[in-house]
Amino acid sequence: MNRSFIAHSPLGERVKFRSMTGQERISTLFESRVRLVADTPGIAARSVLGKDMTIEIDLATELGGAGRRFISGQVTRFARVGKDDGDMHVYEAVLRPWLWYATRRSDFKIFQFKTVPEIVQEVLAPYGFAIEPKLSGSYRNWDYCVQYGETDFDFVSRLMESEGIYYFFAHAKGSH
């Protein structure tokens, strides 16, 4: 059976895609809520939390579309939300980018004689995810820059905004 939407997750074929809502903009954290169905009532959240899930969308239509699109994110919430009209159990997974983890930690740090791209790299390095800078300008060295009780996300967002740097997430199967 051909499906237009396929959920790729640690759960494998145990779950099937049902529906999805979400939003995505430049320089913001995306969020997608994915509804999945399974004939299993007790799927443990710990089996998917903190792991990647990718929704594969087949763009081919009778009108001539072609190709595939992927929406990929870290599962930050997973719960059984009910049953459908039949015997299938409905689950909801919330997908967010890895950068969302930076909203969960705040810190107090001082940076000296560094550019904003260098500071951003240093602050986000402990999260262990790849950053692919595509910078076209040169950036000034800050004599003194302070993260004062801000989350890592708020801090790097503030710095990037002040320098006119934007970011986005490029979705692929298994990564973003």
Confidence at residue 33, expressed as pLDDT on a 0 to 100 scale: 98
- Give the bridge partners for 21, in sequence order: 33
Say what the pTM is: 0.89
DSSP, res 175: B
Reply yes or no on domain 5-96 having CATH 2.30.110.50: yes
Q: What superfamily in CATH does domain 101-163 come from?
A: Baseplate protein-like domains (3.55.50.10)
Report yes or no: 153 and 27 within 8 Å, Cβ to Cβ.
no
Confidence at residue 62, expressed as pLDDT on a 0 to 100 scale: 66
Confidence at residue 2, expressed as pLDDT on a 0 to 100 scale: 55
Confidence at residue 3, expressed as pLDDT on a 0 to 100 scale: 58
Confidence at residue 13, expressed as pLDDT on a 0 to 100 scale: 86
Neighbours of 158 (CB within 10 A): 13
pLDDT digits (tens, 9 = 90+) for 9-30: 998 888 999 999 999 999 999 9
Ranges of each domain in the chain: 5-96, 101-163
Q: How far apart are CA 75 and CA 32, in angstroms?
A: 10
Confidence at residue 1, expressed as pLDDT on a 0 to 100 scale: 41
pLDDT mean values, one per 10 residues, the chain (176 residues) = 79 91 96 94 92 91 76 96 87 97 97 97 94 90 97 98 95 80
What separation in angstroms does the CA of 37 have from each of 6, 46, 76, 77, 124? 12, 17, 18, 16, 35
Phi and psi angles of residue 81, each rounded to the nearest 5 degrees, phi first: -115, 0
Distance of CA 1 to the CA centre of its chain: 29
